[in-house]
Amino acid sequence: MESNKTFTMIKPDAVANGHIGAILDKIIGNGFKILALKYTALSAEKAGEFYSVHKERPFYKDLVSFMSSGPIIAAILEKDNAIEDYRKLIGATDPSKAEPGTIRNLFAKSIDANAVHGSDSDENAAIEGNFFFSAFERF
Ligand code: IDP
Ligand code: MG
């Protein structure tokens, strides 16, 4: 299992608020290399599938509806210690608890509309990257 890759999405709130460029700049400026990148949208069905690990949580329905509410950016990122370093760069799930300078501190407004996704393990990074990208779409 590779430990140098993670998967991210720029969520519909951050796309709608015009933060794509600033967030990609933060990602690249913090040493992550972009291996795959696309501008797309999740249907409710696809969002439900992506977040199926959370299907028993009380916020699942809202999460699926939010994540299918507009376009997103999906990307595979590479860096040594990618999972941990990227979770540090995005900050806590609740942006009011995210460290100053983190992506969620700078660009997110609420715990549900929290600007970005970041994988929580090598295994999930691989699953999530494969969800969006074929072998012809990664470099
Ligand atoms: P993470 O994105 O920081 O890994 P998770 O616990 O994996 O957080 O939750 C996935 C997503 O579900 C969060 O990013 C957020 O959009 C949403 N979420 C998590 N907890 C809550 C909550 O308590 N209320 C509403 N939405 C939540
Ligand atoms: Mg998570």
Name the 3-class secondary structure at 120: coil
Per residue in 94-136, pLDDT (tens digit) is 999 999 999 999 999 999 999 999 999 999 999 999 999 999 9
Per the annotation, the verdict on 19 as an active-site residue is: no
Q: What is the mean pLDDT of residues 19-45?
A: 98
Q: What is the mean pLDDT of residues 35-46?
A: 98
pLDDT at 66: 98
Name the 3-class secondary structure at 116: strand
Residue 123 CA to residue 1 CA, distance in Å, equals 7
User: Is this prediction's pTM over 0.85?
Assistant: yes
**Ligand 1 binding pocket mutation candidate from 93, 94, 97 (most atoms within 8 A of CB):** 93
CA of 17 relative to ligand 2 center, distance in Å: 22
**Per-domain boundaries in the chain:** 2-137
- Bridge partners (DSSP) of residue 10 are 73, 116
> Using an 8 Å Cβ cutoff, are 72 and 12 in contact?
yes
Percent of the chain with pLDDT over 70: 99
User: For the chain, how many residues are written?
Assistant: 139
The 3-state secondary structure of 26-81, one letter per residue:
HHHHCCCEEEEEEEECCCHHHHHHHCHHHCCCCCHHHHHHHHCCCCEEEEEEECCC
pLDDT at 41: 98
Query: If one looks up domain 2-137 in CATH, what number appears?
Result: 3.30.70.141
Ligand nearest to the CA of 11: 1
CA of 118 relative to ligand 2 center, distance in Å: 7
